[in-house]
Homo-oligomer: A and B are copies of this chain.
Amino acid sequence: MKKFTSVSDVENLQEIIKKALEIKANPLTETEKGKGKTIGLVFLNSSLRTRLSSQIAAQNLGLNVLTLNAAQEAWNLEFADGAVMNGDTVEHIKDAIEVLNQYCDIIAVRCFAGMKNKEDDVNESILSQFEQHAKVPVISLESATRHPLQSLADCITITENWKKDHKPKVVLTWAPHIKPIAQAVGNSFAEWMQEMDVDFVIANPEGYDLDKSFTKDVQVIHDQDEALKDADFIYVKNWSSFDDYAAMPEVKGEWMLTNEKLSHTNDGKVMHCLPVRRNVELSDEVMDGGHSIIYQQAKNRIFSAQAVFSEILDNIK
């Protein structure tokens, strides 16, 4: 693996899931693999799971870890090519990346969508600069349009929880929120599910369809109850409108996941990438109930990261 910013960087999804589960069973078999090498974890945004799980994964591989909270600890970054930097920005992202090239063997970066300019977000205005200027492998810790380490952890979690012999029905369902949230987790989960041997559908209100370039031919249902019927896995996530970018068009009906709604599924397991707004996206009873595999998902972030870092290290001399 040369970089990891989307599912297309994975040669064989089943292989890497298998590898991650082997790591989970025995996380300390490659403690020398990263010796003398450095991974830079660059956070342009908040992070709990990604921050901690990436550090654990790197430590398990013997990597040195440099964590940089870019805005608070370093300098206000300029992102525009050709900018005359006579304003508030102190360092160009290009120069920061070139310096990281000098210091790191792997650069991992979290750069959320700005949710202001659709074109900037769709074009991955920040991650694309890392992909363009980095001379070492780049790993996405969530970008404007994707969250691939999360999606790999999701695939691992579904694999662990599926022992039956029919294809599982997986539903990605939109959930309410109070402010405009990026589509990254939804996009990414949709992309990865299309590579898994599952029956996958998306449920969201009208006006909230995800970008077709991620969902492709996946069935999109605007009636949550219909979509949830017989679901084996229910992935709960909010996102704002893609078409009317970052808008929150009015929603008809109740979309918060509750036990009542869950009762129409096939004893479905509930997933969420966290953080979750309790009693807004899903109810306390769902979050704390026996159907949730959400914390297991969080734990699998370690093994998702470790499998990816390990495969990246295979490609570094």
A258 within 8 A of B: no
Within 8 A of B (CB), among A79-123: 82-87, 90-92, 95-96, 98-103
Write out the residue numbers on chain B whose beta carbons fall within 8 Å of the beta carbon of A59. Answer: 38, 64
Measured in the bound complex, the distance between the Cα atoms of B275 and A75 in whole Å is: 8
Write out the residue numbers on chain B whose beta carbons fall within 8 Å of the beta carbon of A85. Answer: 277-280
Write out the residue numbers on chain B whose beta carbons fall within 8 Å of the beta carbon of A284. Answer: 82
- Given A91-B276, A275-B95, also A74-B47 (CB < 8 A): yes
User: Which residue of B is nearest A69, CB measured?
Assistant: B73
User: Which residue of B is nearest A90, CB measured?
Assistant: B275
A56 touches B48 (CB 8 A): no
A74 touches B102 (CB 8 A): no
A129 within 8 A of B: no
Which of the segments A139-147, A203-211, A295-303 contacts the partner chain? A295-303
Apart from A53-B103, A86-B277, A95-B287, list 20 A-B contacts with CB within 8 A.
A46-B74, A47-B74, A48-B99, A49-B99, A51-B68, A51-B74, A69-B73, A85-B278, A85-B279, A86-B280, A90-B277, A92-B276, A95-B276, A95-B295, A96-B275, A98-B295, A98-B298, A99-B295, A99-B298, A102-B295
- List 9 interface pairs A-B (beta carbons < 8 Å), by A numbering: A47-B73, A47-B74, A49-B99, A75-B275, A83-B279, A85-B278, A85-B280, A87-B178, A91-B274
Q: Chain A: residues with CB nearer than 8 A to chain B?
A: 28, 36, 38, 40, 43, 46-49, 51-53, 55-56, 59, 64, 66, 68-70, 72-75, 78, 82-87, 90-92, 95-96, 98-103, 178, 274-280, 284, 287, 294-296, 298-299, 302
